Amino acid sequence: MSKKPAVCVQIEDDLLATATGEAGPSAARRVETHLAACATCRREYQEYRAVDGAVATLRDEPIPNGGLAEAREQLETRLADLRGRLLTYRIFPSPLGHILIARSELGISLVEYLDRGTSLRASRLSHEPGVELVEGGGELEAIYRELLEYLHGRRKRLEWPLDLRLTRSDFHRTVLQATAAVPYGAVIPYAGIAQELGKASAVRAVAQALRWNPLPIVIPCHRVIGTSGDLTGYAGKKLGLKQKLLSVEGIPTTRRGGTLGIASQAMYILYPGEREYCLPTCPSFDTHLPAPLTRFASREDAEVAGFAPCTTCRPDLHPISH
């Protein structure tokens, strides 16, 4: 077998590239010039052209589609199952300690204070049955930024789509839905939530439901307190966090003896079912039956929530001095 001339060896890559549509214009020109003078390479070029033609036939040959529809159907079924189980999570630092945020395709499903570590092992998710976890990337960044803005008092609403799949029962779900409606800058007693749900005696059950709130901060269970004004409890024994969250909203707290509570006399009050908010000294106070009151830190918060100043005590003319 005769040895290939060096010039032919050098141009072989370009020749192959040109014959198979892979070459740039300058390589193609070099090849064209060479082919005009080299019969051996012309033959090689034609062979690669034939190879390219055979590959094109292969490319254009339809693969039987019989299985495609069935594979797509199976994929849809498996995807539906995965969608029902998949949660994407990330752990972020915050002024309240490390927080895990998890979301499903439907919405945010967990906001969790991690007080036993900074990894997934410290989360309730690591024991949650029927859940598949994936560590998320940028998709949770925006949520985290909004959460930080909220915690720094630069945002009053967290309008995230929520997925309540991690609630423990339908009753817990209704408690959370009622709690989500408590306005920014307001507090309401557990008894108030129970009354709203038409289960006035279920105060302890309401407290228990909020203890397992999978979405603290965004479902503001920190705005639910004892009838006496005591903060009572938060996510187990995290009363300090509850106080911080209330102070972000401008809700004054005070320590009475060893107990943390809101400073009731420094807040506006709203009777259940009323559309007007009052001063705590409103003369019409005595005309109402004892009831679980909603209290507002400021007139602005009460009015943003859709309430008007009482026309008897006129909190608009005589605002509480802080």
Partner 1 sequence: MRQESFEAVISSHHGEIYRYLQRVIGRSGDADDLSQETFLRAFRAYGSLPGEANVRAWLFAIATNLAKNYFRSETRRRQAYGEVRATVREAEDPTPEAELASRQTEAMVEGIVRRLPLKQRLAFMQRKIHGLEYEAIGRSLGCSADSARAHVFQALRKIRQTLDGHGLLPKEPQ
Instruction: Cite the active site residues.
Output: 221
* CB nearer partner 1, residue 40 or residue 169: 40
Describe the crossing of helices 6-19 and 39-60 by its angle, rounded to 10 degrees. 30
* CB nearer partner 1, residue 28 or residue 263: 28
Using CB under 8 A as the criterion, which residues of the chain lie in contact with partner 1 when the complex forms? 13, 16-17, 20, 22, 39, 42-43, 45-48, 50-51, 54-55, 57-59, 61, 63, 65, 67-68, 70-72, 74-76, 78-79, 82-83, 86, 88, 132, 134, 136-139, 142
Give the Cα separation of 48 and 53 in Å (integer). 8
Provide the minimum distance between the beta carbon of 113 and partner 1 in the complex, in angstroms, as a whole number: 23
* CB nearer partner 1, residue 4 or residue 256: 4
* CB nearer partner 1, residue 136 or residue 250: 136
Provide the minimum distance between the beta carbon of 135 and partner 1 in the complex, in angstroms, as a whole number: 8
Length of the chain: 322
Provide the minimum distance between the beta carbon of 254 and partner 1 in the complex, in angstroms, as a whole number: 43
Q: What is the dihedral of CA 138, 142, 147, 151, to 10 degrees?
A: 110
Provide the minimum distance between the beta carbon of 87 and partner 1 in the complex, in angstroms, as a whole number: 10
**Upper half-sphere CA count for residue 132 (Cβ side, 13 Å):** 8
Provide the minimum distance between the beta carbon of 13 and partner 1 in the complex, in angstroms, as a whole number: 7
Concatenated DSSP letters of 21-82: T---HHHHHHHHHHHHH-HHHHHHHHHHHHHHHHHHHHHHSPPP-HHHHHHHHHHHHHHHHH
Going by DSSP bridges, is the β-strand pair 268-270/294-296 parallel, antiparallel, or unpaired?
antiparallel
Which stretches does DSSP call E strand in the chain? 86-92, 99-103, 108-113, 132-135, 186-189, 224-225, 253-256, 259-262, 268-270, 276-277, 294-296, 308-309
- Comparing CA positions, the residue from 46, 162, 76 lying closest to residue 111 is 162
Classify residue 210 as exposed, middle or buried by CB count within 10 Å of its CB (0-12, 13-18, 19+): buried
- Give me the residue label for tokens 């020109």: 29
* CB nearer partner 1, residue 26 or residue 287: 26
Going by DSSP bridges, is the β-strand pair 99-103/86-92 parallel, antiparallel, or unpaired?
antiparallel
* CB nearer partner 1, residue 4 or residue 211: 4
Identify whether the C-beta of residue 115 lies closer than 8 Å to the C-beta of residue 99.
Answer: no
